[in-house]
Amino acid sequence: MSDDFIRPNAQFIAGVDEVGRGPLVGAVVTAAVILDPKKPITGLMDSKKLSEKKRQQLALEIKEKALAWSLGRAEAEEIDQINILQATMVAMQRAVAGLPTTPDYVLVDGNRCPNFGIACESVVKGDAKVAEISAASIIAKVARDEEMYQLDKQFPEYGFANHKGYPTKAHLEKIAQFGVLDNYRKSFKPVAKILAAKASYE
């Protein structure tokens, strides 16, 4: 973890991070984690820099050793109603509210904090500086990826296991070919564009 971050003097610090702001499909998934200082976990870092296998191993270890952890989410329908930024804030609030131990300080990856009703600080690139945020990013990423694998089993023709819902060229071609599923974020431009094109043909 980075040396330039000064940890707050608090007993129960929760780290919070999100995964899935960019994809065109599914929920934005958040996690909150309070680590146990007596049970250190080695190898915590930004989930994107870890192999999938390592992420899955660490996710199990985090859930086993953490004092508390919780997942939060906002579905595609909510994202369309209130926009992705607000939906992410709501999902973060849900993750913290779901913790079995109430934190006395919350550290959030990024540049803004939702209102938790608890002292909070945002940390830019926090998943590389704060162990709790790294842990949250790992369990959120593993949870959302698993949802994409499940979706891939339901709709193998879309290739969700490969692109995880992100707007790759191949993914956009699949949507154009097979249509927009219910759990797509219809307010996102690439999806809205395909829906508008379809409507103009009908």
Amino acid occupying residue 52: E
User: For the CA atoms of 124, 128, 130, 132, what is the dihedral angle to 10 degrees?
Assistant: 110
Q: What are the tens digits of pLDDT across the range 54-73?
A: 999 999 999 999 999 999 99
DSSP lists the bridge partners of residue 68 as 34
Residue 198 has pLDDT above 80, yes or no: no
Per CATH, domain 13-152 is 3.40.50.300: no
Contact between residue 49 and residue 71 where contact means Cβ atoms under 8 Å apart: no
Residue 1 has pLDDT above 60, yes or no: no
pLDDT band at 4 (very low <50, low <70, confident <90, very high): low
The residues spanned by each domain of the chain are 13-152, 156-201
How far apart are the C-alpha atoms of 47 and 127, rounded to whole Å? 8
More confident residue, 98 or 197: 98
pLDDT band at 197 (very low <50, low <70, confident <90, very high): confident
- Mean pLDDT score of the chain, rounded to an integer? 94
Q: What is the pTM of this model?
A: 0.94
Q: What are the tens digits of pLDDT across the range 109-168?
A: 999 999 999 999 999 999 999 999 999 999 999 999 999 999 999 999 999 999 999 999
